[in-house]
Structure 1
Amino acid sequence: MAKKNDAFYFDSFASAAELACKAAQKLDETMHNFDPAKIEEAVAEMHAIEQEADEIVHRVNDALISAFITPIEREDIATLSNSIDVVIDRIEGVLHRIYFTNVQEMRPDALEMSAKVMRATEQMHDLVLELPQFKRSKSLREHVITVNTIESECDDIYIAAMRELHTGDFDPLTVISWRDVYTFLEYCADSCEFVADTVESIVMKNS
């Protein structure tokens, strides 16, 4: 499927997915080694990753405007490029909510979710790498299933965490802060699943 003149798109997908992994690793590291005094620095580092990812989207869009022939449908290229970027935006969103709601300590279920988000991005990255040679790939479908499984596991953690948050003895500000953090962690997993489903759809169209 991937010819020399098509490599730009697949390389762009891979680079963006790699940045998603980098962002998820940064988030997980920040949360597991949590220090409120260092959050502002982490936010700045995360934003640099997000900006780098945005540049990839812009380059892909520019290429699509002038391209005569594309390896897969233009709409699918744009959708996949944008959906990987959304993963990074959501990851950055978690850190933003930790920062501007002034979270002072981590909760175990949030740490569990961040670890799963990191694993989901790794699987997503591996999945994207398989796209150029999807007809010969022996692991593409397995990566899709794994991402979907991780998203389901995050759903379970999210539901339990939100239930505890709203039935436990917590002050209103804590509830508001953590509701946002949990929700954006769940968004991260959902976004990874959307990427996996998009790749699967592309494969089905081109098989």
Structure 2
Amino acid sequence: MSSKKAYDYFEALLGLSKFSLQASELLKKTISDFHTATLEEKIREMHNIEHSADIAKHDMIEHLIKEFLPPIEREDIINVAQQIDDVTDAVEDVLMCIDMFNVKKIRPEIPKFTETIEACCKSMYVSVEEMRNFKKSKKLHAEVVEVNRLEEEGDALYINGVKELYRNTSDPVDLMIWTEVYRKLEKCCDACEDVANEIESIVMKNS
């Protein structure tokens, strides 16, 4: 009788990061071709991604509870899984914020921000993919550095965007709405950086 196949935690983490990437792709697509008539449909699509990610994370945790000897420390697996989940949640929050504030028109600088978020999620995905062979990987360090660079790009977009907003907008409602939207966008990049930093910490501990 063949033994039961071991649960692949690295593959599970990669699956979680795939949901983050899908969410970022949907956000970019929704913002670049924004229509209020289809926003509700896009939010449902986004929620389905987020809900599927939650189910996958819970499934991984259930396996981890019963695991005798995981490939890396349980705490490290849980931390990475939660931080990847935070990325997906942060991306979903952007669309929910836009819907909640009844935004009718997207500011022209916002699509660039969503492109940066998507790029950040792509580099995060590769970083997670390279975790399995971190001792031999020739790409992992470069991808972690790239996530950090993109997070700095996100910071600059946030600072410059809010600065431009307060220089050229006098409507207090618009100021409130877009300040919050910008904050949500920046949080996506911050969340990706948290994942990259956690992976780097795990590599240091296990090298």
2:201, 2:180 → 1: CA distance?
A: 31
1:39, 1:196 → 2: CA distance?
A: 31
Q: CA deviation at 1:196?
A: 0.4
SS in 1 for 2:68: coil
Taking the TM superposition and a 5 Å limit, the aligned residue runs for 1:142-153 are: 142-153=142-153
Q: CA deviation at 1:111?
A: 1.0
CA contact (8 A) 1:154 1:186 kept: yes
1:37, 1:178 → 2: CA distance?
A: 20
Q: CA deviation at 1:7?
A: 5.1
Match of 1:108 in 2: 108
CA contact (8 A) 1:87 1:192 kept: yes
1:177, 1:171 → 2: CA distance?
A: 10
1:170, 1:148 → 2: CA distance?
A: 34
Taking the TM superposition and a 5 Å limit, the aligned residue runs for 1:41-52 are: 41-52=41-52
Instruction: Give the partner amino acid of 1:32.
Output: S
CA contact (8 A) 1:162 1:179 kept: yes
Q: Which moves more between the two structures, 48-57 or 172-181?
A: 172-181
Taking the TM superposition and a 5 Å limit, the aligned residue runs for 1:106-185 are: 106-185=106-185
Instruction: Give the partner amino acid of 1:118.
Output: E
2:79, 2:147 → 1: CA distance?
A: 18
Q: CA deviation at 1:147?
A: 0.4
2:180, 2:54 → 1: CA distance?
A: 24
1:93 aligns with 2:96: no
1:69 aligns with 2:69: yes
2:171, 2:68 → 1: CA distance?
A: 58
In percent, how many aligned pairs have the same letter? 39
Q: CA deviation at 1:188?
A: 0.2
Match of 2:12 in 1: 12
1:181, 1:7 → 2: CA distance?
A: 39
Q: CA deviation at 1:110?
A: 1.3
2:13, 2:169 → 1: CA distance?
A: 45
Q: What's the CA shift string for 1:82-137, capped at 9, x where partnerless? A: 00000000000000011110111111221111000000001110111000011110
Q: CA separation of 1:185/1:7 partners in 2, compared to 1, >3 Å: closer, same or farther? A: same
1:16, 1:96 → 2: CA distance?
A: 21
Q: Cα RMSD between the aligned structures?
A: 1.3
2:89, 2:72 → 1: CA distance?
A: 25
Q: Which moves more between the two structures, 169-178 or 79-88?
A: 169-178
Q: CA separation of 1:63/1:7 partners in 2, compared to 1, >3 Å: closer, same or farther? A: closer
1:86, 1:149 → 2: CA distance?
A: 19
1:53, 1:73 → 2: CA distance?
A: 22
